[in-house]
Amino acid sequence: MGWEFTAGDQSETNDVETDDYSASRRRFLAGTAGLSAAAVLPASASSVAASDGETVTLVHDTHFHGRFRDAEADELNLARYYTVVEDVLADAENGLFVGNGDDLAPSLLGLEYEGEHMIEAMNYMDLDVVGVGNHEYDFGADVATERFEESEFPWVVANLLDDEGEAVPGTERWTTLEAGDLTVGVFGLVSENFHSLTDYPEEWEVLGYVEASQEAVDALREAGADVVVLASHVESGVHYRLAEAVDGLDAIVGSHSGITFDEPELVDGTIISEFGDEFDHVGAITLDADGQLVDWQRTDLLLPDWDPLPAVEEYDAISARYTDAIEEDEFLADLTEEWTAELEERLGQPAFESEVELDATYDNYAIETNWGNLMTDAMRTVGDVEVDIAANNAGGIRSDSTYGPGEITGADVMNVLPFPNEIEVVELTGEEVVAYLEEEIRPLPDEQYGAQPAIQVSGVSYEWTGHEGESRVENVFVGGEPIDPDETYRFAHNDYTIGNSEVLSEAEVVLRSGQFQGPYVLDVLAERDVVAPERENRMIRVDERVGDATVSQDGDEITLTVPVPDGAEGIVDDSFRAVIRTGDDVAADSATVDDDEIAVTFDADALEELADVDDPVLRLFGGYEPDQEYWPYEFDVPTSSGYDYFKLRADVDASAVLDESGSGETESETEGDDDGTTETESETESTDEEPDETDADDGDDGIPGFGPFAALAGGAGGTYLYARRQTDDATDEPEGDA
């Protein structure tokens, strides 16, 4: 089946808890100068009219990502979101609607229409000003400029300059708005690593956060601004540095991080307020003429069967509205139908069936997921070259949704993979493969999302560690065999990451497939008809290595005894498992602590069968509760999305396991697979039970990781050639992390 995309003027076709709906990402920062709402708000904060003098209310945060609807719930949409915005503005003395960027992409609609559809909607919504986000540049500077110039409102960004030192075309660095008798100054800010986030011209400049912000504040004060506000598209943690370093900044609204506050924060006189992205929340901040906080409101939009977040009960300033009681704005509802009808007709039909729920959430940053395995296995089938390894950056998996079990549509896949990124194949030495895997790890300290591998992989497995700012990779296997530092491997990835990676950008490209990831993966999966991917042991987190395990046997049980990790205050007894180089594993029957040792018991036959292969590289992994005082961080650990605990690793002498069980022999015969990998005869059977993501284990399924594309349950699917609409000298394609 071919999945067609229009050509011509419309192009073919942007860290994390989950709950019944997108969960609030509340900040818990230790050691900051932040004050809670009780300290920020006056006693009369619940009533704007109670303040002295004139006020201005800023409804802020857009981050529409080129969507008219939530990826999982059509009822949660732009037409209802704007109705709530209008209601909040109608209650304000003076109201302004302030956007924070990432409005044009990434999404299926964004990829198809390059943001044109969103400009029509945003012009109608009468936005007063929008801060530029990285995804505005996903289709290059020319498209971004065209969209900015089509807008009936100003786009602002203070720290982007073109090659002549001027504001980037179509934008202003800052602007002033009139709200009653008040003059409100607004400027934007994007990440300092903007060149690596999106398709921003290399010769254009990106200024530092503090330098650009202070210049903007000074210029706005000189222009007569009573209140100065940053419409931010930088990471939330940067806000605290700006609040402390920039004089005269009254408020920071929005961010690059997708975080939703339960209450505002005050840092050195600067108010910080964030309301997430897309259509889950509408937030407003009210300031007086001195830039002081008068009121703060958050409205959560819920489907009728969703329960409110606990914050609704805890905070008076937070309320909930249900979609069945929110009338859709008629113009935006009609506009949605106009722009989506053709796409839904082409891509809305079922493409394949999944027997399990596919996890395309932001778990893809933190842990191995079954969607990550499925799509990277598909990428290894590209072209007519044998591909050893495939990987995809977690930021390229964008819908933050789950799909199935059941029928999966073409639109579902394209919403997961909405970027105009082509699959390419490069040649790397084993040493370079390891360097790339280490390059991608996001180590602690990162109090916002914690340590993350930040990619999904196929054909390779490894252990990763990320502590105290350092990344480490060990026990790397390709096709189940130890990686050879001097051997050459063919590595499939998308061209965006290849162009922005220090390691991959230096590698020789052996295949430019001409295949966009979304259409190609969709075609492969449609050929498969039915899929049932599982999590495997491709990426295993390790926080502490505890040396070698002692092996002993008592009847039909084998016990592996290891020291309690130095940084532990308790173990997670149901998390222990033994793993070998092929990715096969066996779950422990029990784990108990006695003084300073952990005794982990296994069924002797199962552990013997697991170890009975050539050079199994047998290891024991298990979870433990970290001791806060041991770890050198100024925040609670594990502090990692996807993980509720830390993990230990112990090496296990396989020959001792076999001797204890009375075997003493190893299986030397292996069967070669069509893809050049090996699969042992003693593979343990997989379970049909999907592991609980909240337990955050890296793979308890016992699925061999390196058979012939296990997640695809078969070989390659069809291909889909799609002419990329860009010039040969275009810069690296965008993806972005948030």
* Mean per-residue pLDDT, 455-479: 97
Q: Please, what is the average pLDDT of the chain?
A: 84
Measure Cα distances from 609 to 219, 574, 667, 685 in Å: 72, 21, 9, 11
d(CA 439, CA 501): 8
pLDDT tens string 477-488: 999 999 999 999
pLDDT in tens, 378-393: 999 998 889 999 999 9
DSSP assigned state of 695: G
Contact between residue 706 and residue 679 where contact means Cβ atoms under 8 Å apart: yes
- Mean pLDDT is lowest, of 68-72, 177-181, 473-477, 539-543, for 68-72
Q: Which residue has the higher pLDDT, 3 or 450?
A: 450
- pLDDT given for residue 623 in this prediction: 97
Q: Cβ–Cβ contacts within 10 Å for residue 173, how many?
A: 21
Contact 12, 112 (CB under 8 A): yes
More confident residue, 733 or 526: 526
Residue type, 611: A
- Report pLDDT for 72: 73
What gap in Å lies between CA 306 and CA 300, rounded to an integer? 11
How high is the pLDDT of residue 276?
85
Residue 251, beta-bridge partner list: 229, 271
C-alpha triplet 301, 305, 309: angle, nearest 5°: 50
pLDDT tens digits for 256-307? 888 889 999 999 999 999 998 889 999 999 999 999 999 999 999 999 999 9
Q: How far is CA 248 from CA 166, 194, 209, 216, 242, in A?
A: 24, 25, 15, 10, 11
For residues 316-329, give the mean pLDDT: 95
* 691-723 pLDDT per residue, tens: 343 344 443 333 333 333 445 543 322 222 222
Under the banding of pLDDT at 50, 70 and 90, the label for residue 690 is: very low
**pLDDT of amino acid 662:** 58
pLDDT reading at 663 higher than 80: no
CA atoms of 623 and 540, how far apart (whole Å): 12
Instruction: Let me know: does 714 contact 528? Beta carbons within 8 Å.
Output: yes
Determine the average pLDDT of the residues in 354-371: 96
**What confidence category does residue 254 fall into, taking pLDDT thresholds of 50, 70 and 90?**
very high
Q: Is residue 26 pLDDT above 60, yes or no?
A: no
| Mean pLDDT of the region 17-30 | 32
User: What pLDDT does residue 696 have?
Assistant: 40
For the chain, which residues make up each domain, given as ranges?
Answer: 52-336, 348-531, 539-704
Q: Note the helical H segments in 575-672.
A: 604-611, 654-660
Q: How confident is the model at residue 589 (pLDDT cuts 50, 70, 90)?
A: very high
How many other C-beta atoms are found inside a 10 Å radius of the C-beta of residue 606?
Answer: 18
471 in Cβ contact with 660 (< 8 Å) = no
Q: Choose between 29 and 195: higher pLDDT.
A: 195
3-state secondary structure of 572: strand
Angle CA 308–309–315, to nearest 5:
105
Mean pLDDT across 470-478: 97
Stretch 198-217: mean pLDDT: 95
- Inform me whether the pLDDT recorded for 686 exceeds 60: no
Of the pLDDT bands very low, low, confident and very high (cuts 50, 70, 90), residue 667 is very low
pLDDT band at 116 (very low <50, low <70, confident <90, very high): very high
> Tell me: domain 348-531, CATH 3.90.780.10, correct?
yes
Band the pLDDT of 28: cuts 50, 70, 90. Answer: very low
The SS3 assignment for 192 reads coil
- What is the residue-wise DSSP string for 95-129? EEEEE-S--S-SSHHHHHHTTHHHHHHHHHTT-SE
What's the pLDDT band for 599 if we cut at 50, 70, 90? very high
pLDDT > 90: percent of the chain: 69
pLDDT on residue 52: 54
Residue 416: what pLDDT? Answer: 94
Q: Is 535 left (phi over 0), alpha (psi -120 to 50) or beta?
A: beta
Give CA separation, 2 vs 9, 11, 522, 625, in Å: 21, 17, 9, 49
Residue 530 has a pLDDT of 96
- 310 vs 490, residue with greater confidence: 490
Average pLDDT over residues 506-518: 91
Q: What would the mean pLDDT of 34-60 be, rounded to a whole number? A: 59
pLDDT exceeds 70 at position 727: no
pLDDT at 112: 84
Q: Which amino acid is at 685?
A: E
Residue-level pLDDT at 138:
86
Contacts of 545 (CB under 8 A, 6+ apart): 648, 649, 650
What pLDDT is attached to residue 730? 33
In this predicted structure, the answer to whether residue 408 has a pLDDT above a threshold of 60 is yes
Task: Over range 111-120, report the average pLDDT.
Answer: 92
d(CA 579, CA 56): 60
- What pLDDT does residue 712 have? 53
Which of residues 255 and 721 earns the better pLDDT score? Answer: 255
Query: What pLDDT is attached to residue 17?
Result: 34
Domain 52-336 superfamily per CATH = Metallo-dependent phosphatases (3.60.21.10)
More confident residue, 691 or 327: 327
Which pTM does this prediction carry?
0.65
368 against 12, higher pLDDT: 368
- Across residues 343-358, what is the average pLDDT? 91
> First vs last Cα of the chain: how many Å apart?
32
Does pLDDT of 529 surpass 80? Answer: yes
